[in-house]
Amino acid sequence: MKMKWLIYLAMFAILTVLSGCEPLMVLDPKGPQAKTQANDIMISIFIMSFIVIVVFGLLLFMLIKFRASKQSKDYEPPHIEGNPIVEAICVGVPVIIVIVLSIMSVKSNYKVEATPKGYGDQEPLIIYAATSNWKWHFSYPEEDIETVNYLYIPTNRPIEFRLYSYGPITSFWIPQLGGQKYAMSDMVNTLHLAADVPGEYMGRNANFSGKGFAENTFNVKAMSKEKYDEWVEEVKKTAKPLTEEKFDELLEPGHVGQSTFTGTHLDYAPAPEGENAGHHHGSNTKNHSDETEEENHDNH
């Protein structure tokens, strides 16, 4: 009787704790890319739950049916050959599960790497998302403005983030809009997202990058196109220009609040893409190499 009440008390405590929990952000998608990933997560959870239930059910069955019993001292268990059907099930079922999950993952990767579904006919809003210790710099070349540690985006329009870093490798992540992707110092990675629902979302660096990693976060606000245009106009009227000296100051390690500027750092500190990439993948690279070879040939 005492054990029964302990079980009831434990169940009540668990239900009380769970009732106060908010839904996981990755399972509360607000964009098409996040919905694709949330669906994959739920399918994986259902498959793994089914496997666990079946395995524990079989374990319980075996423990009861083949439990030890009193036998005579001269008892010898019968010799049993392997069962091909059981062996085929033990090998075949895991193989099938792996194949299903692999196909699902590959299809999902192609979806989230492309322009969000339903937005293929729209021109994406390009935002350069650069990170430094320990802050985020968002450049809007189309609007010629820049923000620090916060991000405003219009709803129902594809967003093309171009990610890179002025410090260690970081990871750009807005859980309710899509999965994370790395930002590195020597190249630009592209991430396609979109917000279907207006609201405020959390963004952060999901890759450990030193002592300030925990506060390396940013706020995201998705709004209608009309409100977004109003915000851009307000920034252009009220914000100060982003000078090279101010940008160099922002790159110094440390935490800062949110700030807004007109102009972007791309004018004097361009992103590492094209001819500015670390591996010199620009259009002028070949011409420069050809000129060097011609000079060397002339010298000889």
Question: pLDDT band at 286, cuts 50/70/90?
Answer: very low
212-231 average pLDDT score: 95
Strand order in the sheet with 170-173: 150-154, 217-223, 199-205, 170-173, 181-183
Which of helix, strand or coil describes residue 12? helix
- pLDDT number for residue 239: 96
**Mapped to the 3 state alphabet, what secondary structure does 132-149 carry?**
ECCEEEEEECCCCEEEEC
Strand order in the sheet with 125-132: 189-193, 159-165, 125-132, 135-140, 145-148, 259-262, 240-241
Does residue 273 surpass a pLDDT of 60?
yes
Residue 155 half-sphere exposure toward CB, CA atoms < 13 A: 14
Question: pLDDT band at 297, cuts 50/70/90?
Answer: very low
pLDDT in tens, 20-40: 455 688 889 999 999 999 999
Better pLDDT: 9 or 242: 242
Per-residue DSSP letter, 261: E
Question: pLDDT band at 296, cuts 50/70/90?
Answer: very low
Does residue 290 surpass a pLDDT of 90?
no
CATH class of 125-276: mainly beta
In this prediction the pTM is: 0.79
Measured over the CA atoms of residue 45, residue 50, residue 51 and residue 57, the dihedral's sign is positive
pLDDT in tens, 153-199: 999 999 999 999 998 999 999 999 999 999 999 899 999 999 999 99
- pLDDT number for residue 39: 93
Question: pLDDT band at 73, cuts 50/70/90?
Answer: confident
Q: Percentages helix, strand, coil for the chain, rounded to the nearest 5?
A: 45, 20, 35
Question: pLDDT band at 266, cuts 50/70/90?
Answer: very high
- Average pLDDT in the chain: 86
Better pLDDT: 276 or 238: 238
- pLDDT number for residue 11: 66
d(CA 254, CA 211): 10
Residues 6+ positions from 180 with CB-CB distance below 8 Å: 171, 172, 173, 206, 207
Does residue 14 surpass a pLDDT of 80?
no
- pLDDT number for residue 70: 76
Per-residue DSSP letter, 75: -
For the chain, domain boundaries: 125-276
d(CA 56, CA 49): 11
Better pLDDT: 279 or 95: 95
